Amino acid sequence: MPSPHAEQLLRELHASLGLRKRPEDIAQLIQDLFAARQVTLDPAAAEALEKASEHSLHRLWHGYTSMLEDFARPVGAQRQLARATALFASVPAIPERACDDPAEIEAVIRRAGEEIHRQYGENDFGLDRLNRAERAEAGIGEVSKRQYNKRFRLLRRMEAKLARLVHEQRRREVTMTGKGALAHTLSYELFAADPDSAAFVAYLTARANMRSVFTNGTQRRPYDEVADALFLRLRAAPEQANWYAVAHVHPTAEVLGHLSDEELTRLLVRWNGFLRSVAELLEDAWNRSRIEPASMIVRRGDDSSTWNQAAQSWSTARAHWFALMTELGREDFLERVCPGKVPRLMAADVAYWHRRSGGGLHPDTYVWAELPRPWEVLRGEKECPRSLVEAACKRNGVDPVAGGWTAPRPAAQAVRFSRTPELVHGVAVADPLMASALRSAGVFSGRGKRAAAEEWL
């Protein structure tokens, strides 16, 4: 059993899986965890952790970051539920926790609807309302037309709010999974079963959860020298490592080779379901936008936020799915069903930046444009065998294996550790206090608030 201090640190690390803590701060927690367990680190791991944790908020003089340390949470139905409590006798005061629970909100709508004899889903203001005679026949004749309409409109708004809340919660889940894979779904018991594995999972997840930087180059890779040093500790004692937990975020052939067929299948089933869920989001965003597949440049009216979040989640899920299918020896299935990759939408200014710097569209974009849409493949409406993907890659000068189109990507090589930048709408700013001022002034947001920033400066 870990000491009380070590258990507290493990719980903090576990809580970080669903947050956006800076990797430097996670490295500090890991250092503290090893100290609490009285573990002597090898020189490589000690040096790597110290290199990262020396920039933790705990050690910086200001101890402040302008970046939110959580994924954006949808606004709950607190206001609507409070109003329902005031208008409907059957609706008691709702606990705070229930205001974010779709099931609780739906139950309130149904219960309140019974008071005015309204069925759930009856939202047509012209056809579904009761007139005076119908209200009298239903036994609510004492309710005036004005009071009845007020209650009817509230329930209609509550159903619309519930639909938005479910959609936003789904988007949040998709965003978290696109960044940190299945790390946030790990139970504390599974996560804490092996502290060394927990340290690796927490740090790699923090790196993966970092925000994208506005650039015309590649984004920084999550797997850095600190993650590599922590992974080497697992490799040194494979019989103690919790490989199943590690596979939730790092599905390399080496990691998956330690799992049983039952564990591999369990993960595959989860990723199968997630792929289908993300495909629905992609299809919905596709149908509501005017996306040009041959360029993937954002146009006015395109829902680029939903598309890019879903595209990143598709990429993560697809990579895990390919790795698991390969480890289970299901290449025969991939020969018949090989859904393609999904590129993100690119802002026009970034596309222009690419062209001015001598670049152009990524070759993957042309491959994507030639293949059936992933949601059509998953539903079985169109065929996308491996041979079709290989042919499209060949026509566009893309290596289908190295590019991850027909096989799992090779294991990532560790990159050098670099400090987490303070970002203002994707643009790196050196000082967190300056970043707060620039963000509040609307700089880099395109909202025309530069004058406020200049005045502050």
**Site of tokens 């299935």:** 333
- The answer to whether residue 447 scores a pLDDT higher than 60 is no
- Plot region of 42 (φ>0 → left; ψ -120 to 50 → alpha; else → beta): beta
Give backbone dihedrals phi and psi of 157, rounded to 5 degrees, phi first: -65, -35
> Does residue 192 belong to any structural domain of this protein?
no
Same domain? 392 vs 310: yes
- Of 174, 193, 208, the position where a domain reaches its end is 174
Same domain? 333 vs 436: no
> Does residue 85 belong to any structural domain of this protein?
yes
pLDDT tens digits, one per residue of 11-27: 999 999 999 999 999 99
Rounded percentage of the chain residues whose pLDDT exceeds 70: 91
Q: Token pair of 213, please? A: 């930087």
Same domain? 367 vs 439: no
Contact 224, 204 (CB under 8 A): no
The reported pTM is: 0.87
- The answer to whether residue 137 scores a pLDDT higher than 90 is yes
Same domain? 408 vs 378: yes
> Does residue 16 belong to any structural domain of this protein?
no
> Does residue 168 belong to any structural domain of this protein?
yes
Same domain? 277 vs 148: no
Provide the pLDDT for residue 452.
38
Read off the pLDDT of each residue in 254-276 and give the average, rounded to a whole number.
97
Q: What is the CA radius of gyration of the chain?
A: 26
Provide the pLDDT for residue 64.
75
Contact 26, 56 (CB under 8 A): no
Residue numbers of the domain that contains 167:
78-174
Give backbone dihedrals phi and psi of 425, rounded to 5 degrees, phi first: 55, 45
- Confidence bin at 437 (pLDDT 50/70/90): confident
Same domain? 352 vs 437: no
Contact 270, 309 (CB under 8 A): no
Read off the pLDDT of each residue in 169-176 and give the average, rounded to a whole number.
93
> Does residue 158 belong to any structural domain of this protein?
yes
Cα separations in angstroms, 189 against 47, 133, 153, 186, 214: 29, 60, 46, 8, 38
- Of 174, 202, 223, the position where a domain reaches its end is 174
Same domain? 94 vs 139: yes
Do β-strands 427-429 and 422-424 pair in parallel, antiparallel, or remain unpaired? Answer: antiparallel
- Of 174, 207, 224, the position where a domain reaches its end is 174
Contact 29, 49 (CB under 8 A): no
Could you give the residue ranges of the DSSP H alpha helices within 121-237? 132-137, 145-180, 188-191, 195-208, 225-236
Read off the pLDDT of each residue in 46-65 and give the average, rounded to a whole number.
87
> Does residue 268 belong to any structural domain of this protein?
yes
Same domain? 331 vs 437: no
Amino acid at 366: Y
Helices (H) and strands (E) in the chain, counts: 21, 2
- Confidence bin at 426 (pLDDT 50/70/90): confident
Amino acid at 453: A
Same domain? 265 vs 410: yes
Contact 113, 119 (CB under 8 A): yes
Same domain? 340 vs 428: no
Provide the pLDDT for residue 433.
66
Coil, strand, or helix at residue 217? Answer: coil
**Site of tokens 């680190």:** 41
**Site of tokens 């927690």:** 29
Query: Strand ranges (DSSP E) for 92-158?
Result: none
Same domain? 266 vs 412: yes
> Does residue 53 belong to any structural domain of this protein?
no
- Confidence bin at 58 (pLDDT 50/70/90): confident
Q: Token pair of 457, please? A: 């400066």
Same domain? 310 vs 345: yes
> Does residue 84 belong to any structural domain of this protein?
yes
Summary mean pLDDT of the chain: 90
Cα separations in angstroms, 358 against 300, 352, 353: 26, 10, 9
Number of domains in the chain: 3
pLDDT tens digits, one per residue of 89-134: 999 998 988 899 999 999 999 999 999 999 999 999 889 999 999 9
Rounded Cα–Cα distance for residues 71 and 15 (Å): 13
Amino acid at 292: E
Q: Token pair of 38, please? A: 């009285």
Rounded Cα–Cα distance for residues 95 and 90 (Å): 15
Contact 426, 29 (CB under 8 A): no
Read off the pLDDT of each residue in 374-393 and give the average, rounded to a whole number.
96
Q: Token pair of 402, please? A: 């190295």
Length of the chain equals 457
